[in-house]
Amino acid sequence: MFDTLDDVLADCRNRLIRAPRDRKSPMHTPVIVTGDVDARVMVLRAFDAADWRLRLHTDTRAPKARVIAADPRVAVLFYDKGAKVQIRARGEGEIVRAGAEVDAAWAASTRFARRCYMGEGPGAASDAPTSGLPPEFEGVEPDEAQLEPARENFALLRIRVMTFDWLYLAHTGHVRAQFARVGEAWQGRWVAP
Ligand SMILES: Cc1cc2nc3c(=O)[nH]c(=O)nc-3n(C[C@H](O)[C@H](O)[C@H](O)COP(=O)(O)O)c2cc1C
């Protein structure tokens, strides 16, 4: 099944291709780790298999946006319990606020998803439990005009995967491999789990 490093590389690539498209895939919601040693779950929105780039969405006011702007080191942790596969990726993160790809991602998001960018920024303090949304939009879908000012709070988090570590759990003996970019190609090696 995983007899060669090429098998492993193909398996990882296929899992990452499926993850953004399949909401039920455990790899749809990886853990994103930033250089300040903080971690959080995020939705994986797209994977560019040609260059191994991940795309996620974030609020420009979120603490992680500042952290990544100052320190692009990012780790991404995926675990598929059913498949017994863990992927630990490391890469370079970039917060992208403007451009055709951001506009397209904003336009493709539902109005309820875009509504999240209308209120207080992530981490804003409150005296009471709060959604952070303006009260008039609690449980209410805003229209396109009302959403317009929220666009400036929306950004992409792009991550270019540079190395990754794959671990497969098996009764017969776990198997592990590591991959790193060498020019245009990936170079892999087996390692002890
Ligand atoms: C299932 C799930 C999906 C999430 N998806 C996102 C997401 O796509 N983008 C995002 O910025 N935060 C997402 N969050 C919220 C983050 O985990 C986090 O709480 C928030 O982004 C603030 O992070 P920060 O303080 O590190 O910036 C999600 C949380 C959960 C539980």
DSSP 77-123: EEEETTTTEEEEEEEEEEEE-SSHHHHHHHHHS-HHHHHTTSSSPTT
Task: Give the rounded percent of residues in the chain with a pLDDT score beyond 90.
Answer: 94
Out of 24, 37, 42, 58, mutate this one to test ligand 1's pocket (max ligand atoms within 8 Å of CB): namely 42
Q: Is pLDDT of 135 > 90?
A: no
d(CA 87, CA 152): 33
pLDDT of residue 1: 79
Q: Which of 53-57, 126-130, 176-180 has the lowest mean pLDDT?
A: 126-130
Out of 31, 34, 37, 40, mutate this one to test ligand 1's pocket (max ligand atoms within 8 Å of CB): namely 40
For residue 49, give its domain range: 5-191
- Total number of domains constituting the chain: 1
Tokens at residue 20, please? Answer: 């953004």
Domain at 52, CATH number: 2.30.110.10
Tokens at residue 123, please? Answer: 């981490």
- Mean pLDDT on 11-22: 97
